[in-house]
Chains A and B, each alone.
Chain A
Amino acid sequence: MNKKLSVSILFFSATVILLTFIQIVYLESRNTHMSEKRLLVKKTALPDLALSTEAHFIRHRSLSDLFSIFSNAPMLLEYFPSTFVYHYSGVTQQKNPARIELEK
C-alpha cells in the first residue's frame, strides 16, 4: 500500500470537513442583521422581497390589485408566479379554497 497516498487522501478529507465547519461557524456569526430586517418590515408593514420591480404586481404581489395582470389583456395567461395569488370570498369559501392549499 502506498502510505503517502493514503495519508494524502485522509489529509484532503480532513481539510474539506474542517473547511465546511469553519464556513458554517463563520456564516452563522454573519447572520446578525436579521433584527434590523424585522424592524423594517414591522415599521413599513410591506410584505415580500424587492427581488423584481418590473411590474407593480410583482413587488408586494400579495397586496396588489386583484388580477392586476388582466389590465394587460384578459386572455393573457399568467406568466409571473406572483399572479398566482388571489383571495376567495370570505363568506362563501371560508373553509375550502378552490385551488390553492397550504402545505404544512
Chain B
Amino acid sequence: MKSKLNFLLFEFSLSSIFRHGAKNIFIFFVFTLLTFLLSSVLFVSNSIKSELDATLDSLPDITVQKLQAGRQTNIPVSRVDELLAIQGVSKAVPRIWGYYYFAKAGVNFSVLGIDSFDDQYKSLYRKLADQYDFSNFADKSLMLVGKGVDGILRENYYKGYFNFIKPDGTFVKMNIGGIFTGDTRMESNDLILMPKSKALEIFGMHDDEATDIVIRVANPVEIPNIATKISLKYPDCRVITKEDLVISYQNIFDYKGGLFLALFVISGFTFFMIIYDKASGLSSEEKREIGILKALGWKVDDILKEKFYEAFAISFLSFITAICMSMFFVYFLNAPFLRNIFIGYSTLKPDFILPFSLNFQTLSVIFFVTVPIYIAATIVPSWRVASMDADEVMR
C-alpha cells in the first residue's frame, strides 16, 4: 500500500490538537522541559569529553615517572640518553613541573619549566599569549600565566609579579610576561610557564633531576612494546601510556555519567508517568470522537493515521524546540548551574567556553527515548477503541 501524506488529515489533526488545547499545551511544555534537561546534560558532557579527546593526540605517547616508597620522586636526567637508545623511541624529554600551593587563596598552581626560548618557541607562545613580552625571558625573571592564575594574583594584590617561596624560605620574584589567551582556558587556567632554571630553584631541585620524562614513539603500534621494555629496564618506574590516560578519562566520565543517570532516571520516570496516564485510557470525550468518526465512515486506518499525525506533531515539535533551547543554553549561555556538576568544587574555577560538538549518537538516543514512546502511547489506546464497533463506543 502506498501511503502519502494526507494534508487534509494532517490539518484535521492540527485542529484536533487545539480542540484539546490545555492538555496538549501542558504535554508540550513538560515534554520540552524534560528533553531540554536531558539534552543539556548530555551536551555538556559531550563537549567536555570531546575537548579531552581532541587534545589526546597531542599528548606524549609514554610518560615515565620514578617511584620510591610508593611515591613519585625525581628521575635522574641521565636516563634520557638510555631511553633514547631503545629502538623506536624518537624523542625523550625530561620535564620539570609540579604544583605550587598558594595558601592565601587555597589554590594549587601548576608550574612548568620550559627549556629554551629560542625563536621557534617565541613564535609559538606569541600565538598562545595575550600580552607578550619575552625579550629576555630568563634575565628578567618572566613567566607566562593562565587567566585564572592572573585573576587570583590580582585578587591578592600581586600586580604583574608574584613572590614564590623557595623550600629554604627565601623569595623568588617572578614578573608576569604574558597571559594565556582565553581560548585555551580549559587547559591553561592554572598554568604557570617559566624558565627551567627558575622552576628548579622554586622547587629546590638539582640540575641533574627532572620530574618525569616524556617519550614520543615513532610507530604507535609499538607503544605497548616499548612501555614493557622500559618497565623491565627500570623496575622502579611507573610507565604511563596514552591508553592509560584514555582509561582514566573514561573513568571520569563513567563516574559523572552515573550522576546523570540519576538525573535521567528521575526525568524519565516523570515522563513515563505522563505517558502512562495517557495510555491508560482515553477520556470519554475522545472515545466518543473516535466513535463518531467511525460512524461517519472513517476506517481504522484513517483514525490511526490521524492520531499518528497528532502525536508526531506534538512530540517532534517538542523535541526540536528542546534541542534548539538546550543548544542555546549550553553553547551560548555556557550552561549555568548544570556546568557546576562537572567542574566541581574549586577555587580556581575556569570561566571556559564549552566547545561545540554535535554528536548524532546522542541526538538519536534522545530522539528514540522520547518521540516514538509518545507516539506509541497515543496510538495504542486509540487503536483499541477504533477496533471496536462504532455504536458500542458511542454508547
Contact = CB atoms under 8 A, between A and B. Distances in A.
23 contacts: A1-B12, A33-B183, A36-B181, A37-B187, A40-B184, A40-B187, A43-B114, A44-B112, A44-B193, A50-B148, A50-B348, A51-B350, A52-B345, A52-B346, A53-B109, A53-B148, A54-B347, A55-B108, A56-B99, A65-B70, A81-B256, A91-B235, A100-B251
A59 B110 contact: yes
Interface string B216-233: 000000000001100110
B246 A102 contact: yes
Contacts of A53: 107-109, 148, 189-190, 346-348
Interface string A52-78: 111110111111111100000000000
Contacts of B348: 50, 53
B186 A1 contact: no
Interface of B: 11-12, 14-15, 18, 48, 51-52, 54-60, 63, 65, 67, 70-72, 93, 95, 97, 99, 101, 106-110, 112, 114, 121, 124, 127-128, 146, 148, 180-181, 183-191, 193, 212, 214, 227-228, 231-232, 235, 238-240, 243-248, 250-252, 255-256, 313, 317, 320-321, 323-324, 327-328, 331-332, 342-348, 350, 355-356, 358
A38 B188 contact: no
A94 to B, nearest CB: 7
Contacts of A36: 127-128, 181, 183-184
A41 B55 contact: yes
Contact of B184 (A27, A37, A100): A37
Nearest to A22: B324
Contacts of A102: 243, 246-247, 250
A101 B239 CA distance: 18
Q: Give the top 9 A-B pairs by smallest Cβ distance, nearest first.
A: A33-B183, A90-B231, A81-B255, A27-B356, A50-B189, A52-B346, A42-B58, A85-B248, A53-B348
A77 B204 CA distance: 33
B313 to A, nearest CB: 8
Contact of A37 (B55, B227, B240, B255): B55
B59 A47 contact: yes
A27 B183 contact: no
A13 interface: yes
A81 B60 CA distance: 23
Nearest to A49: B186
Nearest to A3: B11
A21 B4 CA distance: 27
Contacts of B342: 51
A20 B327 contact: yes
A70 B58 CA distance: 31
Given A39-B127, A46-B112, A9 B345 contact: no
A70 to B, nearest CB: 9
Given A40-B188, A62-B245, A34 B252 contact: no
A50 B190 contact: yes
A49 to B, nearest CB: 5
Given A41-B58, A54-B345, A65-B72, A47 B14 contact: no
